[in-house]
Amino acid sequence: MDRIAITGGRPLHGEISISGAKNACLTLMPAALLSDEPLELTNVPRLADIEMMTKILVSLGASVELSEQGRRLVITAKKFEQHLAHYDLVRKMRASILVLGPMLAREHEAVVSLPGGCAIGARPVDLHLKGLEKLGADLELRTGYVHAKAPGGLKGAEIDFPFVSVGATENLMMAATLAKGVTVLKNAAKEPEIVDLARCLRKMGAEIDGEGSDVIEIEGVDRLKGASHRVLPDRIELGTYMLAPAITGGEVELIGGKRRLVSALVEKLEEADIEVADTENGMRVKRRNGHIDALDIATSPYPGFPTDLQAQMMALMTLAKGTSRFEETIFENRYMHAPELMRMGAKIDVQGGVAHVHGVERLTGAPVMATDLRASVSLVLAGLAAEGETLVNRVYHLDRGYEQVEDKLRACGAQIERLKD
């Protein structure tokens, strides 16, 4: 397995271009199943997760043409060869569950493996399933698969989510576009990726209102047509790289960065005495007075502080003046980066969903283990600031969500290289 070696302690200076949003693509790609015409997606990031989703769509019978070095996809689901999303594919990427809604809506049947949990939590899909039943689907759970049928098609309904779920909002929004009648999603997720999906579905002929608010209304139509859609910038990649000059010192411009995508992070960075300035091509980040002030961070659904930036912000706070408090409210086990950061000299107390980070003068490089996508990149950030060499193992986690991470950081002066095993 590849590893990444970093010799830290060097301030970063330069530019980093932000790629298209992984988590937008993982719902925009299955949206192509709703139509028999081609859906063109541009500004697609080149990531392992995109390759996995491509495999799943092709296994169902869709054609996926890649061009422009994989940044442009044309997906055509003219007809389905089969209606089964296999465990072997789904277990490797939980977002595969997002083929369920579109396939059921279009084909009136679907068999999709339950995704199972992952390192950060059990991650059930009960909201997805209950919502589809509300739309008239008959669901049966057998041998780890969801067997779904909707003879005569899905019917619009009102669905009131007990708590916010990004994936359930996406799955049900897609399913509702072809259901007969009106569907109202209450307590819907408001993430920018939801808004991006709604915009793409509307280009395909869907009748959708309210995306970005907590009530989304969808009036079903008979069929959807092809469209062309440019994927929005990845706000989690953006936020991650904004933390790089903050943790190392120096100054980096994030090309393509948009403040509105990371407003909760910007607010917290300003509080920590980190300067975030808008530029003609994006945003520029640097320390204002050479130090980092401690913060209180509680994750929450958009527009709150994103859980996907919690690990990265914790890396920054290991070097802050004072004690920071984190509360992770979305996932039950998302502090696995803490023990690894402690191997580098960080002082962190974790009690259930709350972590206290006592700032230290410096971190020292060490061999560390990546456990999930965002935890692994928090170790890279820490390694950039630490004195000496950090060796990040299990880098395949990183490759799922960060395109050419070592190239982007090396271009800003980081001493970082990938060691191929």
Residue numbers annotated as active site: 118
Q: Would you count residue 95 as binding ligand EPZ (CB under 6 A)?
A: yes
Q: Which of 241, 305, 331, 402 binds ligand EPZ (CB under 6 A)?
A: 331
Q: Note whether 247 and 359 are within 8 A (CB).
A: no
Q: Judged by CB, which is closer to ligand EPZ: 124, or 303?
A: 124
Q: Which of 11, 30, 167, 257 binds ligand EPZ (CB under 6 A)?
A: 167
Stretch that binds ligand EPZ, among 116-124, 140-148, 174-182, 405-413 (CB under 6 A): 116-124
Residue among 224, 227, 103, 79 nearest 175 (CA): 103
Q: Would you count residue 367 as binding ligand EPZ (CB under 6 A)?
A: no
Q: Which of 232, 269, 401, 412 binds ligand EPZ (CB under 6 A)?
A: 401
Q: What is the C-alpha to C-alpha distance for residues 86 and 168, in angstroms, rounded to an integer? A: 20
How many CA atoms are closer than 13 Å to the CA of 142, on its beta-carbon side? 7
Residue among 99, 132, 83 nearest 30 (CA): 99
Cβ count near 23 (within 10 Å)? 22
Q: Would you count residue 126 as binding ligand EPZ (CB under 6 A)?
A: yes
Q: Which residue is nearest to ligand EPZ (CB)?
A: 167
Q: Would you count residue 374 as binding ligand EPZ (CB under 6 A)?
A: yes
Q: Would you count residue 123 as binding ligand EPZ (CB under 6 A)?
A: yes
Residue among 209, 211, 221 nearest 176 (CA): 221
Q: Would you count residue 44 as binding ligand EPZ (CB under 6 A)?
A: no
Max distance between CA atoms of the chain, in angstroms, equals: 65
Q: Would you count residue 328 as binding ligand EPZ (CB under 6 A)?
A: no
| Cβ 280 to ligand EPZ shortest distance, Å | 29
Q: Would you count residue 402 as binding ligand EPZ (CB under 6 A)?
A: no
Q: What is the C-alpha to C-alpha distance for residues 159 and 128, in angstroms, rounded to an integer? A: 11
Q: Would you count residue 23 as binding ligand EPZ (CB under 6 A)?
A: yes
> Sign of the C-alpha dihedral, residues 389, 390, 394, 397?
negative
Residue among 36, 15, 2, 414 nearest 226 (CA): 36
Stretch that binds ligand EPZ, among 118-126, 140-148, 150-158, 274-282 (CB under 6 A): 118-126
Q: Would you count residue 311 as binding ligand EPZ (CB under 6 A)?
A: no
Q: Would you count residue 13 as binding ligand EPZ (CB under 6 A)?
A: no
User: Angle 235-248/373-385 helices, nearest 10 degrees?
Assistant: 20
Q: Would you count residue 308 as binding ligand EPZ (CB under 6 A)?
A: yes
Cβ count near 59 (within 10 Å)? 16
Q: Would you count residue 312 as binding ligand EPZ (CB under 6 A)?
A: no
Dihedral of CA atoms 323, 329, 333, 334 in degrees, nearest 10, equals: -60
Q: Which of 61, 70, 116, 121 binds ligand EPZ (CB under 6 A)?
A: 121
Q: Would you count residue 304 as binding ligand EPZ (CB under 6 A)?
A: no
Q: Which of 71, 83, 106, 128 binds ligand EPZ (CB under 6 A)?
A: 128
Strand partners, 229: 41
Q: How many residues bind ligand EPZ (CB under 6 A)?
A: 21
Interface residue list for ligand EPZ (CB under 6 A): 23, 26, 95, 121, 123-128, 165-168, 307-308, 330-331, 373-374, 401
